[in-house]
Structure 1
Amino acid sequence: MELMWFACFALLLAGYFALEGFDLGVGLLLPVLGRSVSGRDRMVAAMAPFVLANEVWLVAVAGALFGVYPSLEGEVLFGLYPVVVAMLLSWIVRDMGLWFRRRAEGAAWRGFWDLLIFLGSLGLSFGWGVALYAAATGFGSSLLNPVGLMLGVVVTLLFAFHGWTFLAWRSPGLAGATRSGRSLAVSGAVAALPAVGVLLGSMPYLLEHTAPAGTLNVLSVMALPFAPIVVAAQVWVWRTFRPGENAVRIPSFF
């Protein structure tokens, strides 16, 4: 049971990095590829249908972490308190930008919210790298450790590349290149590598802190039956909003 839930947790975290990674990557690329308001509108519109579905993975990751490894809750929340707060604020700021950028017309209005989308995406991407390093070292290292900061840079660059691949798959005109669905899957796997590497390295530690068998049985009964529904919803989203004539005409958030 412990191994099954470890595999589930690893799948959820890797899935979050692979899916939400391109959303954050597109946000990181707004100042680079979105040289005009219309260009940034098209970039946000390209990822808009996927954002809420991808964020479900983060909720699932948090639920699995504190349900399967409850003894780690204090270490994560207190050992990473500044990073967790910064990442939550970044998440709020990024989503505020997505929801408010089209509430009014004008280049200045949208430019302000586009900047917040970029900053929020940067904070989340960089924060994940720092958090992964802290988790890999047992939450005992300084949050300003050079290796942790470097991993934050690496994760940010991987997400940016994944975002570019996504744009090249769904709306090739935005990225200046065309990529296949297979290329997108490969870039998603690459974006998830840091998370998978840390989990594999931390596997013995996590297994030692797994919840009792009774708790895992309850979690299995409560959570696992919903897994097919989540998978079916993800498949529907990707089939409905795959590349095509409407790829750049689907509006961003209202």
Structure 2
Amino acid sequence: MLETIWFVLWTLLWAVYFVLDGFDLGLGALMPAIAKTEEERRMVYNASGPFWDGNEVWLIAAGGVTFAAFPKVYAYMFSTLYAPLLLLLFALILRAVSYEFRNKVDSPVWRAMWDWVHFIVNLAACLLLGVFFANLFMGIPFDANGVYGGNLLKLLNIYGLAGGLFFLAAFMMHGAIWLTIKSRDELQTKALAAAGVCWVAVAVLLIVFLVLTFFCTSIFGNYLKMPWLIVLPALAVLALLFVPRFLNKGHLWLAWSASGLFLICVTFFGVMGIYPNMLISSTDPAATLTAFNGASTSNTLEIMLVVALVMVPIVLLYQFWMYRLFSKPVTREELDSDHAY
């Protein structure tokens, strides 16, 4: 029972991370297409600037839970998927540097360099997260000792690439909607148009990804065994359909919330589809790690559950307060302040 609870909590942490950090990753990947002037680029940076580092807390939490609740899964995961996870780490480090270093030198060339770094690493992070999870769903070639039987290129299979492109489009849509909330005038108009284009891309890639999921994974098997799980993809599709409806009516926060709900449901759709598996071996089924054979002891899980029930609501309340505090659009006056990016 405790293993299942922690499996669901592990999934939830990843889902919250995708909702919160997804918008600034997507916004960074979208920046060259919508921010053409220096002021617009600074608007984009300041739309995500107060949030990105707090959002990454949920990635740390997801990694920490994997380490503490499912230590064997953590060990095998970082052995088999070492290369993409290391590339993701470098991308996130460089993203942080791009925020802080961009305005350290008053030079257009210097700022342009960091703008391109910011775009490339955000683009790479979106793709890597999609490739990572797509391969988790499909299975990875490793043996009972956690020795990976492939290379980085083997992860860039058709299903992995489809997952990467789908995550990229979903995060860009999420980020474009966020920019409509945080901007005004011409930039808001461009962000709204970008959100519409990204929505079409997400809808198309969702269909492609689901078709490939049917042929490349066993995810749909769980949905035949537990039909009630169908509520997850149904709710995801419903949330996605409501995104343009809310945007057209000017309900920007509702549109962003619908986009966030879509990301949550998609995450649960995939992860609950492989339950109780967590790390599937495509070459040796006996080596597959589940929520049960890869979990910590019951005492550890009990103690962690108590800590989580106390601390997670506190973190959520703090982040709610932070988002409420910085909920207003970025203004030209704010760009002139000392704390602006």
What interval of TM-score do these two structures reach, taking the shorter chain for normalisation? over 0.9
Q: Report 1 or 2 for greater relative contact order, CA contacts < 8 Å, sequence distance ≥ 6.
A: 1
1:13-28 map, 5 Å: 13-28=14-29
Aligned pairs, number: 254
- Structure 1, 155-164 or 195-204: larger mean CA deviation: 195-204
Alignment match, 1:175: 188
Shift of 1:167: 0.4
- CA offsets 1:189-228 (integer angstroms, 9 cap, x no match): 2234443222111221142233221110121244432112
Identity of paired residues, percent? Answer: 29
The counterpart of 1:239, out of the listed 305, 309, 324, is 324
Distance 1:175 1:190, change over 3 A: farther
Q: Which amino acid aligns with 1:204?
A: P
- CA offsets 1:5-35 (integer angstroms, 9 cap, x no match): 2222121110000110001011011111111
Q: Any idea what SS the aligned residue of 1:49 has?
A: coil
Contact 1:42 1:248 in 2 (8 A): no
Distance 1:179 1:117, change over 3 A: farther
For normalisation by structure 2, the TM-score amounts to 0.70
- CA offsets 1:150-196 (integer angstroms, 9 cap, x no match): 11011011111110000012214323135521100111222344432
Shift of 1:249: 2.1
User: Structure 2, unaligned stretches of length 5 or more?
Assistant: 142-149, 193-249, 278-289
Alignment match, 1:207: 291
Contact 1:20 1:54 in 2 (8 A): yes
Q: Which amino acid aligns with 1:44?
A: Y
Alignment match, 1:149: 161
CA RMSD of aligned residues (A): 2.0
**Cα separation, 2, equivalents of 1:193 and 1:156:** 16
The counterpart of 1:165, out of the listed 163, 177, 182, is 177
Q: Any idea what SS the aligned residue of 1:41 has?
A: helix
**Cα separation, 1, equivalents of 2:159 and 2:36:** 33
**Cα separation, 1, equivalents of 2:340 and 2:97:** 10
**Cα separation, 2, equivalents of 1:2 and 1:159:** 30
Q: Any idea what SS the aligned residue of 2:126 has?
A: helix
Distance 1:15 1:104, change over 3 A: same
**Cα separation, 2, equivalents of 1:136 and 1:245:** 39
1:190 aligns with 2:275: no
**Cα separation, 2, equivalents of 1:59 and 1:247:** 34
**Cα separation, 1, equivalents of 2:256 and 2:8:** 23
**Cα separation, 1, equivalents of 2:274 and 2:66:** 13
Contact 1:132 1:195 in 2 (8 A): no
Structure of larger gyration radius: 2
Contact 1:33 1:175 in 2 (8 A): no
The counterpart of 2:305, out of the listed 194, 215, 220, is 220
- Structure 1, 170-179 or 8-17: larger mean CA deviation: 170-179
**Cα separation, 2, equivalents of 1:48 and 1:248:** 16
- CA offsets 1:44-72 (integer angstroms, 9 cap, x no match): 11111111211111110101111111111
Contact 2:184 2:329 in 1 (8 A): no
Alignment match, 1:105: 106
Shift of 1:145: 1.1
Alignment match, 1:45: 46
